[in-house]
Amino acid sequence: MNRSYLNNTIKALAEAKGYNFHDSESQHFAEQIKGYPTIVLEPPKFIEMEGRRHGKISYSIRLHAMEEGAKLTADARNVAYAGLETDLIEILMQLSKEKLIICVESLQISCSNAQLTPHCEVAATATAKITTMF
């Protein structure tokens, strides 16, 4: 239940910011992405659980935000990276306010010129530990 809630909540937050949403492993990005801007959530990794009937489950997530970038100048790419970074921060800050989410910790965001697909996109990747309650 927590994994589904986490996926559905991130999907709703991404779509509210105007992103297409996909949940997929990285080797399938090129097949699934049909338009930009896009956010892709890799399958959350179960880290730990506390409690039996009531407690906490922690997940490690990797979230990729992408925009079309084939014809962007270096300056335009930097602006796009800044926008993607801001959007990822806002999505994860909003996620921390959702009802079953206890906290979002250890947030790291990296922007790279290495492409995740053959579409020449600009991409920013966020990793974080998400603690949920059950």
Q: Is 70 exposed, middle or buried (0-12, 13-18, 19+ CB in 10 A)?
A: exposed
In a domain, 122, yes or no: no
In a domain, 38, yes or no: yes
* Mean of pLDDT values over 17-38: 82
pLDDT tens string 97-114? 999 999 999 999 999 777
H/E run at residue 29: helix 29-32
Q: Give the Cα separation of 76 and 96 in Å (integer).
A: 31
Q: Give the Cα separation of 40 and 19 in Å (integer).
A: 10
Cis peptide before 37 (omega within 30 of 0): yes
* Diameter of the chain measured on Cα atoms: 54
Q: How many domains in the chain?
A: 1
115 vs 90, higher pLDDT: 90
pLDDT tens string 44-88? 999 999 988 889 999 999 999 999 888 889 899 999 999 999 999
Pairing of the two strands 55-68 and 38-41: antiparallel
Predicted TM-score (pTM) of the model is 0.88
Round the average pLDDT of the chain to a whole number and report it: 90
Residue 63 neighbours by CB under 8 Å, 6+ apart:
10, 39, 40, 41, 42, 88, 91, 92, 125, 126, 127, 128
In a domain, 72, yes or no: yes
In a domain, 54, yes or no: yes
Full domain range(s) for residue 55 = 2-117
Q: Where are the alpha helices (DSSP H) in 1-134?
A: 2-16, 29-32, 74-95
Q: Give the Cα separation of 129 and 46 in Å (integer).
A: 10
In a domain, 112, yes or no: yes
pLDDT on residue 89:
98
20 vs 35, higher pLDDT: 20
pLDDT on residue 27:
62
